[in-house]
Amino acid sequence: MPQKLETSFQTTAVSPAASESEVKAPLYVKVAVPLHVSQTFTYRLPETARELAHVGSRVLVPLGRSAVTGFIVELLPDLSSHRTFTDSDIRSVEKVLDPTPLITPEVLEITRWVSQYYGSPWGEVLKAALPPGINPNSEQLFTLTPKGLARVGELDSEDTAEGRVLRALAHAGELNGETLIKLVGKREASRTAKELQIRGLVATHLRFATAGARPRTQRIVQLSKLPGAEERAPRKVTPAQQRILDALSNQQTVPLPELLRVAGVSISAVNTLHKYGQLEIAEENVRRDPLALATLPQVDEYTLTGAQNQVLSQIEPPLRSGAYGAFLLHGVTGSGKTEVYLRAMRISLELGRAAMMLVPEIALTPVFSRRLRSNFGDQVAIFHSSLSKGERFDEWVRVKTGAARIVIGTRSGVFAPIANLGLVIVDEEHESTYRQQDSPRYNGRDTAIVRAQKENAVVILGSATPSLESFHNSQTGKYQYLQLPSRIGDRPMASARIVDMREVFARHKKPRVFSEELLEAIEATHKKGEQSIILLNRRGYSSFVLCRSCGETIQCPNCDVTLTYHRSERVIVCHYCNHREPAPEKCPACDGKYIYYVGEGTEQIEAMLTKLFATLRIARIDRDTATRRGAFEKSLFDFSAGKIDMLVGTQMLAKGHDFPNVTLVGVVSVDAGLALPDFRAAERTFQLITQVAGRAGRGERPGRVLIQTYHPNHYALRHACAQDYSGFYREEIRHRQNHGYPPFVSLASLLLHGTALGKVRADALELRKELDLANQERSCRILGPAPAPLARLKGEHRFQVLVKSRSRKQLRKVVDTALDAVMGRGQNLRAINLEIDPVSIM
C-alpha cells in the first residue's frame, strides 16, 4: 500500500474545492488517479511546482513502484484535514503537467457527482472526460547493474529464464516489461524480474512517453516583411523561384504543400529563397474536422406548427431566465422534435449560452451533426469515439477554448468542457446505450440531467417511447411533460399488424421463417418500386449449431452461450468474447455428419431473401458490417438514393433514419427479446416495435409494419401495434409496482466475477453476509447470490447479488458499508462490478 487511504469507500462528502485565491501557496494536493481505487491520494508539492498547481491540472505522481498521471482535485495549505498521517508519510508530486488546468470547474463537479453516485473511481471518470491519448504513459525499464553485468560473464550456455533475461539485457542495454514477457512468458517474467532485483543484478527505472493526441501543424509560407529583405535577395532569380514569389505576391500566407503544388516547384527552391531571407516560414495548427468532406443539408426555415410553438413556449421561460428546468418531450418520430431542439439551441446561443445534445449511438451522429452544422456552422463540435484521436483532440480543444459552443455527442459528450451551459438535449432518452457498461460506470442521460441542474440549464429529454422512469417522473411533476402528438403534415403512422406464427406453424406442420403474409408484402412493395426494412435481433447466420444425431450444441469455451455460425467466413463465433473457430464439418461430440443450424441470423435471412427474390437488391446492416468505418453510412446512403431495395439488419436499423420511400417493415421475430430474463424485456420490445413503426411511411405513401411472433397476445405487442403508449404504461407500471422494480425501488446490482468458481461463489456469499449485517434495519431487500443470467463470460464465472430499496439513500448506505467491509478483508474491488440503477439485470 503506497499511500494511506484517506476516504473510505463510503462517499463521505468531499469538501468543495476551495477557490484558489483563498489557498496561499498550497503545500499539498489531493489527487484522483485513473485506477480502480475509490480513494484520492495526497501528495506534497515541491517548491517549484507550487505556482503551477491548479485544481484540474494533471500531475505525474508516484504510486507504488510506478508513476501515474492523476488529476489535482483539491489544493491543501496543510495536512490539518488528515488526522491519520503526517508529512513524512507523504510522497511528492513529480511534475505538474498542465500550467492551465485541463479539467474545468464544471467538469470537475459533474465527474465528482458521477463518482459518488455510481461508485466509479473519480480518476477514471476524469480520464473518460478527456480525449484519449492526452495522458503520458509511463513504463518500467530494466537495466543491468555492474553486478548483473559481471554475472552475464559467468553464465554458461544453459537456457534458463534468468540466463535469457540477463543475456538480452546485456545485448540491448534496457528492456521493458513487454519484451521480458515475450522472452520468458508472463508468469516467469515477473518472478524472474523480481528475483534479479532482489539479488541486485537488475535495476529498474521509469520512462515517460507521451502517447497519442497533439495538435496537427503545417508549415505556412509568406513573403518576408522584415526590413532589408530586398538587399539580401539573390542576384539572379531562377524561374522556379520567380513562380514562388508570384504565388505569394498577394501578401497572403500559403500552406507549404499548396505552394509547392501551385508554383510547381520542389522544396529546395523554397529553402533557397528562405535562406536568402525572402520568405518567412511558420508553423500553424491545422484543424482536423470530422465533417470536412461531408455534404451538408440545406437549412430549412419552417414556420413552426401550433404544437411545436406550444412546446417551445414552455421551454423558453426557464431558458431565458437562466433557471433549471427539466422537460420530457414525447413525440412520435417525424413529429418535429428535432426542429424544436434546433430552435431552443438558437435561443440559447442568442443568450450567449452554450448547448449540448446527446444521442444514443455513434450511428446517429452523422445525420444530426450535419443538420446542426448547416444550422450553426463551425460552432458545432462533435464528440464520439469513432472519430480519429486527432479529430477528437481538436474538437475537444475547440470546446475548451470556447470556439465551439454546441456539442453533439454520445454519452461521454456529457463531460465536454463547455462553459456557460444553457441547454442540454438528450434525444431518444429511453435508449440503454446511455448506460456505460464498463468502468467508469454511469448513465449519460441521468448525468446530463444532473449537470443541467448544477449549471442552471434547461434539459429536454426527447423520445417517441419514453422510458418508464421518465414518464413516471413527468406524472409526478419532476419533469414537465410536453407532447407533439402527431406527425408533421399529419402523415399517418404506419399501421402495425401482428402475424401469428402459431397459425403458420399449424398450416405447414413445421416452423417457417417467413409467413406468407410477409412474403406477399415484400413482393408487393418491391413491385411498386418502394423499399422495405427487415429486422432481426441476431447477427450471423444461425443462432447455434446442433447435431441431429446426438443433440450436441457447440458452446463457447469461455462463455455460457452457444456459438453463432457466420457463413460468409465459415466460422462459428461467440458474440460476447469474439472467440472464433472454423465451422465444424462433423459433430465434435459424436462424429455424426448431420450438423444442423438452428435459428436464423441476419446473414441467413439475407441469404434466404436473396434466393426468394432474385431481383431484390439487398444490403445487410448489423454490428458485423458496421465495424468498417463508413460501411454503415454507405449502405444507408445507397438505400436513401434508391440503389438498394431492402435493408436487412438488427435493431441498429430501427433508429433515427428517415427514408421516405420505405413502406414496409417486417420484424422476423420478436420472441427472443420478449423472453429475456430482465425486468425491462417488455418495455424494450414495446420501444423496438414503436420505433420500427416510425420507420415505415415517412414519405407520402402510407407504411405497413408486420410483426411475426408466437406470443400474439402479449400486452407489449398489443399496445405497440395500437400505438398506445399510455395503455402500455398503465399495464407495465402496475407490473413494476407489484414486483418491486424501478421506478418504485432503487436497484443496485453487484456482480462478482473470477476464474475460480469456488472462490467467486464464496466471495458472493461473503458479500451477502455483509449486506445482511448492514441491513439490520431491513430497509433493503437483498436477492442472491445467484449465478448471473450469463453465468460464464470470457472465461470467468459470474454471480449476482441484487439489492432493492424504496430509499436510495439507504440502498447506498447498505451497499457501501458492505463493500467497505469486504474490501477491508482483502477483497479485490475490481472483481465486483457495482451498478447503481442498472438498465438491465442480465
Candidates 293-301, 419-427, 577-585, 719-727: pick the segment binding Zn ion (CB under 5 A).
577-585
Candidates 160-168, 261-269, 575-583, 622-630: pick the segment binding Zn ion (CB under 5 A).
575-583
Nearest distance from C-beta of residue 351 to ligand ADP, angstroms: 22
- Is position 579 an interface residue for Zn ion (rule: CB under 5 A)? yes
Nearest distance from C-beta of residue 454 to ligand ADP, angstroms: 27
How far apart CA 659 and CA 636 sit, in angstroms, is 9
Residue 336 or 838: which CB sits closer to ligand ADP?
Answer: 336
- Is position 412 an interface residue for ligand ADP (rule: CB under 6 A)? no
Residue 426 or 545: which CB sits closer to ligand ADP?
Answer: 426
What does the DSSP 8-state code read for residue 562? Answer: B
- Is position 338 an interface residue for ligand ADP (rule: CB under 6 A)? yes
- Is position 337 an interface residue for ligand ADP (rule: CB under 6 A)? yes
How far apart CA 790 and CA 678 sit, in angstroms, is 12
Residue 121 or 656: which CB sits closer to ligand ADP?
Answer: 656
Nearest to 328 by CA among 725, 825, 838: 725
Residue 140 or 374: which CB sits closer to ligand ADP?
Answer: 374
Residue 395 or 428: which CB sits closer to ligand ADP?
Answer: 428
Amino acid at 693: A
Nearest distance from C-beta of residue 491 to ligand ADP, angstroms: 9
Helix, strand, coil share of the chain (percent; to 5): 40, 25, 40
Q: Which residues of 703-725 are buried (b: 16+ CB within 10 A; e: fewer)?
A: bbbbbbbbbbebebbbbbbebeb
Determine which residue in the list 56, 101, 325, 331 makes contact with ligand ADP, applying CB under 6 A: 331
Between residue 487 and residue 546, which ones bind ligand ADP under the rule CB under 6 A? 488
Residue 334 or 742: which CB sits closer to ligand ADP?
Answer: 334
Q: Is the dihedral of CA 500, 506, 510, 514 positive or negative?
A: negative
Alpha-carbon Rg for the chain, nearest whole angstrom, is 31
In this structure, what C-alpha cell is assigned to residue 171?
545485448
**Residue 710 touches which of ligand ADP, Zn ion, none (Cβ within 5-8 Å per kind):** none
> 34 to each of 161, 210, 344, how far by Cα in Å?
33, 16, 36
* # residues near ligand ADP by CB under 6 A: 15
**Residue 515 touches which of ligand ADP, Zn ion, none (Cβ within 5-8 Å per kind):** none
Residue 183 or 294: which CB sits closer to ligand ADP?
Answer: 294
Between residue 512 and residue 571, which ones bind Zn ion under the rule CB under 5 A? 556, 558-559
- Is position 312 an interface residue for ligand ADP (rule: CB under 6 A)? no
- Is position 700 an interface residue for ligand ADP (rule: CB under 6 A)? no
Strands 406-409 and 796-805: unpaired
**Residue 338 touches which of ligand ADP, Zn ion, none (Cβ within 5-8 Å per kind):** ligand ADP
Nearest to 802 by CA among 815, 792, 820: 815
What's the per-residue H, E or C state across 471-507? HHHHHHCCCEEEEECCCHHHCCCCEEEEEEHHHHHHH
Candidates 154-162, 263-271, 300-308, 787-795: pick the segment binding ligand ADP (CB under 6 A).
300-308
Nearest distance from C-beta of residue 704 to ligand ADP, angstroms: 19
Determine which residue in the list 8, 179, 253, 305 makes contact with ligand ADP, applying CB under 6 A: 305
Q: What angle do CA 563, 567, 568 make, to 5 degrees?
A: 130
Determine which residue in the list 119, 334, 366, 754 makes contact with ligand ADP, applying CB under 6 A: 334
How far apart CA 561 and CA 573 sit, in angstroms, is 10
Neighbours of 787 (CB within 10 A): 17
Residue found under cell 403508449 = 725
- Is position 455 an interface residue for ligand ADP (rule: CB under 6 A)? no
Between residue 461 and residue 490, which ones bind ligand ADP under the rule CB under 6 A? 488
- Is position 580 an interface residue for Zn ion (rule: CB under 5 A)? no
- Is position 360 an interface residue for ligand ADP (rule: CB under 6 A)? no
Residue 665 or 832: which CB sits closer to ligand ADP?
Answer: 665
Amino acid at 654: A
> Which backbone phi and psi does 414 adopt, to 5 degrees?
-65, -20
Q: Determine if residue 134 is left, alpha or beta; phi over 0 gives left, psi from -120 to 50 gives alpha, anything else beta.
A: alpha
Q: Which residues bind ligand ADP (CB under 6 A)?
A: 300, 302-305, 308, 331, 333-339, 488
